[in-house]
Amino acid sequence: MSTDILQTPIDYLTGVGPTRAELLRKELGIHTYQDLIHLFPNRYIDKTQYYKVSQLQRNTAEVQIIGKIVHLKTIAQKKGKRLVAKFVDDTGSIELVWFKGQKWIQENLQLNTPYVIFGKTNYYNGFSMPHPEMELLSKHQSGFQIGMQPIYPSTERLSNRGITNRGISKMMQQLFLLLKGKFHETLSDDMIQALHLITKREAMLNVHFPKNQEILQKAQYRLKLEELFYIQLQLVTKNLIHKQKIKGFPFNAVGSYFNTFYTKHLPFELTNAQKRVLKEIRKDLGTGAQMNRLLQGDVGSGKTIVGLMSLLLAIDNGFQGCLMAPTAILAQQHYTGIKELLGDLDISVAILMGSTTTKKRREIHAALEDGSLHILIGTHAIIEDKVKFKNLGLAIIDEQHRFGVAQRAKLWRKNSCPPHVLVMTATPIPRTLAMSVYGDLDISIIDELPPGRKAIKTVHRYDSNRLKVFQFMKEEIQKGRQLYIVYPLIQESETMDYKDLMDGYESIVRSFPLPEYQISIVHGQMKPADKDYEMQRFVKGETQIMVATTVIEVGVNVPNASVMIIESAERFGLSQLHQLRGRVGRGAEQSFCILMTSYKLSNDSKTRLETMVRTNDGFEIAEVDLKLRGPGDLMGTQQSGVLNLKIADIIKDSDILKTARQYAIKILKEDPSLSDPKHIAIQHTYAQLTKYKNIWNYIS
């Protein structure tokens, strides 16, 4: 079909005047014929199936039954009356009920004559069906057979203005008549054959007018695959272009810093996963293209050391490096930790944060510009324009979901040629989502914890068991352990949350009195210096209990802390709970996580708590999280286009996504410009797509 006709404004379709066109545009984003045929049904009503009364179940959607009415009566009720019929088949009976139009029905219904009825059932002391659609069996069999009836997405405003499902179906029929079934194929013959796909034409026809379940499924599969394939084609192309076009500094040398550190300073043997990831990074850094890599690893998997060793590679090659963390506490901790690891290596490291004094700042700026400072660690203070490097070669971003794309871009501009970028995140992104959201980044995964870690034991306790929990805390403190108690703080300004925190703190102070017990408290309304002081007391082991809001969520490392108590755990999201739990289990001792809640729990909260109790595996948790929340809430998805999918579902169709990605990679490797005649359909579709819909806008 010619593309031009598909670009026709929707106003031109018979039956769609200016008012309706305006509604379609506003409510469903339908501007053209093209948009309308890509409005896919949300669901279908299966009119190919007939139920027996005995097969009915509560909560089934619409059903179709063949039977007879044997009895009809009117029953008085509070307001007016209702008409009730007894409808039977050879397996049982149900009630049909009418609240309106009773006179007409009474006059026209034929008793003891076979009917096909259709509708939703209710259950109350037996099944009933209010206002069924009814047709005589004899007519039903001779008439036009509807297979699956499509139900299109709609809005209240649309149906109020008379654009009903039936209306949309009619428009669709009208449009298909006009198009005369002339659809160009959009995938290659190779793909169609290898994947046993039906043609584009068959797929479009059957997604809107399916004859039966089987063909509908084939149509949906084909269209989902196509949709995901073209997104992947774009992401993979982008990644390839990136590698060809964006030059990076080649780090050819593995020099003395790296080697000396590896042989003399590394306090432990790297895990195999850490070694593998380092190899991947070293390979990237040597290619001459800019590295743009995401490093995923569960909390405690040892990402920092991998980051540090990558920084050493930069220094060995005459470059500077920086490490950016989302909070001052974390930046401070990286600074202290890295200084300690480097020991007597003559590498200069500085820390820059919002609170850094002007005098210190000047020193840092100068040392960065003359190149005497090798590594700069800090918060987002380091991306300020004033901060200039002599020769930045590698930028590392820790816990990247706290930083936006714009901030990443700012780092890119810190050198004439963009520095290599390594993004480290402890929030595992399910593979399928990573493929769609970060399809243009390379991904490394540390999927192994350092040896000797004991799995954290997680339990769920109700608030009413608090005394027992306190007792347990005392026993652990007796053994020399430290513990965290965390309160939710959704918004730094929410006074309610502060009250919870302060009430909790007071009750803990009462139960754990001085001088036997020392307690730290850290929250967002404290001055950075005070926070830091309290944090350091805990790190040094001077206090046994750290009462905190979620400021400690990210990255804090106190190996002696072995108990994490999370108050109002039902208010936290899964990934946050998992992050918090990751603060313990860092030393050799058995660690515990106690999730405290009230008795009132939503189903989602229950699922979250059960998941936490069941598993420590961050990837498994991320999958559950994705299912509970959908992709909309997850980081990065807003820009990625995964929410604009018309037919595929990023969660349910992950297998199709994998297939689509494989094909995109295979085809682009073979034929990057898509100029091979066998890829003509793909090339053409791809060109159309980028012409009419600037998909790049929402992917980059």
Using CB under 5 A, list all residues that contact Mg ion.
555
Residue closer to ligand ADP by CB (options 252, 259) is 259
450 binds, among Mg ion, ligand ADP, none (CB under 5 to 8 A by kind): ligand ADP
305 binds, among ligand ADP, Mg ion, none (CB under 5 to 8 A by kind): ligand ADP
Residue closer to Mg ion by CB (options 167, 555) is 555
- Residue 303 as a binder of ligand ADP (CB under 6 A): the answer is yes
Are the C-beta atoms of 119 and 129 separated by less than 8 Å? yes
- Residue 262 as a binder of ligand ADP (CB under 6 A): the answer is no
270 binds, among Mg ion, ligand ADP, none (CB under 5 to 8 A by kind): ligand ADP
Closest CB 426 distance from ligand ADP, rounded Å? 5
Residue closer to ligand ADP by CB (options 398, 567) is 398
Q: Distance between alpha carbon 40 and the CA centroid of its chain, in Å?
A: 23
Site string for ligand ADP, 575-614 (x = CB under 6 A): -----------x----------------------------
Closest CB 404 distance from Mg ion, rounded Å? 20
Closest CB 398 distance from Mg ion, rounded Å? 6
Residue nearest to ligand ADP as judged by C-beta position: 302
Residue closer to Mg ion by CB (options 560, 638) is 560
Task: Find the binding residues for ligand ADP in span 338-357 (CB under 6 A).
Answer: none
> What's the chain's length in residues?
700
Closest CB 450 distance from ligand ADP, rounded Å? 3
358 burial (CB, 10 Å; 0-12 / 13-18 / 19+) is exposed
Q: Give, in degrees to the nearest 5, the angle at Cα 369 between 368 and 372.
A: 55
Tokens for 483, please give them: 């513990």
Residue closer to Mg ion by CB (options 148, 306) is 306
User: What distances in angstroms separate CA 608 from CA 250, 530, 570, 591, 612, one per listed residue?
Assistant: 45, 34, 8, 20, 6
Residue closer to ligand ADP by CB (options 95, 447) is 447
Mapping DSSP to helix (H, G, I), strand (E, B) and coil, where does residue 236 land?
A: helix
Sequence-distant (6+) residues with CB within 8 A of 250 are 285, 286, 287, 288
Distance CA 378, CA 395 (A): 11
Residue closer to ligand ADP by CB (options 63, 554) is 554
Residue of 64, 121, 234, 304 that binds ligand ADP (CB under 6 A): 304
Residue closer to Mg ion by CB (options 31, 401) is 401
Residue closer to Mg ion by CB (options 24, 338) is 338
Query: To which residue do tokens 């039903």 refer?
Result: 140
- Within 266-357, residue ranges assigned H as helices are 272-286, 303-316, 328-342
274 binds, among Mg ion, ligand ADP, none (CB under 5 to 8 A by kind): ligand ADP
Residue closer to ligand ADP by CB (options 65, 295) is 295
Task: Find the binding residues for ligand ADP in span 376-435 (CB under 6 A).
Answer: 426
Distance CA 169, CA 502 (A): 59
Long-range contacts of 686-691 (CB under 8 A, 24+ apart): 686/230, 686/233, 688/3, 689/230, 690/234
- Within 561-602, residue ranges assigned H as helices are 574-581
Closest CB 397 distance from Mg ion, rounded Å? 11
Q: Distance between alpha carbon 349 and the CA centroid of its chain, in Å?
A: 36
Residue nearest to Mg ion as judged by C-beta position: 555
Closest CB 426 distance from Mg ion, rounded Å? 6
Residue closer to ligand ADP by CB (options 168, 556) is 556
DSSP sequence for 370-391: HT---EEEESGGGGSTT---SS
Closest CB 586 distance from ligand ADP, rounded Å? 6
The pairing of beta strand 81-89 with beta strand 92-98 = antiparallel
Mapping DSSP to helix (H, G, I), strand (E, B) and coil, where does residue 287 land?
A: coil
456 binds, among ligand ADP, Mg ion, none (CB under 5 to 8 A by kind): none
Residue of 219, 305, 535, 624 that binds ligand ADP (CB under 6 A): 305
Residue closer to Mg ion by CB (options 555, 641) is 555
DSSP bridge pairs for 95: 86, 128
Task: Find the binding residues for ligand ADP in span 159-218 (CB under 6 A).
Answer: none
Q: Write b or e for each residue in 530-560: b if 16 or more Cβ atoms lie within 10 A of its Cβ, otherwise e.
A: ebbebbebbbeeebbbbbbbbbbbbbbbbeb
Task: Find the binding residues for ligand ADP in span 544-563 (CB under 6 A).
Answer: 555, 557
Residue closer to ligand ADP by CB (options 220, 550) is 550
Query: To which residue do tokens 């499924």 refer?
Result: 217
Mapping DSSP to helix (H, G, I), strand (E, B) and coil, where does residue 301 land?
A: coil
Mapping DSSP to helix (H, G, I), strand (E, B) and coil, where does residue 76 land?
A: strand
Phi, psi torsion values for 609, nearest 5 degrees: -65, -45
Tokens for 190, please give them: 């190779």
Question: How many residues touch ligand ADP (CB under 6 A)?
Answer: 17
- Residue 450 as a binder of ligand ADP (CB under 6 A): the answer is yes
271 binds, among ligand ADP, Mg ion, none (CB under 5 to 8 A by kind): ligand ADP
Residue closer to Mg ion by CB (options 149, 579) is 579
631 binds, among Mg ion, ligand ADP, none (CB under 5 to 8 A by kind): none
Nearest alpha-carbon partner for 208 in 182, 232, 174, 164: 174
**In the Cβ-directed half-sphere of 75, how many Cα atoms lie within 13 Å?**
13
Closest CB 297 distance from ligand ADP, rounded Å? 5
302 binds, among ligand ADP, Mg ion, none (CB under 5 to 8 A by kind): ligand ADP
Distance CA 79, CA 388 (A): 79
Tokens for 208, please give them: 């809107």
Residue of 64, 206, 239, 271 that binds ligand ADP (CB under 6 A): 271
Residue of 220, 274, 520, 616 that binds ligand ADP (CB under 6 A): 274
The pairing of beta strand 127-130 with beta strand 122-123 = antiparallel
Site string for ligand ADP, 283-302 (x = CB under 6 A): --------------x-xxxx
557 binds, among ligand ADP, Mg ion, none (CB under 5 to 8 A by kind): ligand ADP
Provide the binding-site residues for ligand ADP, judged by CB under 6 A.
Answer: 268, 270-271, 274, 297, 299-305, 426, 450, 555, 557, 586
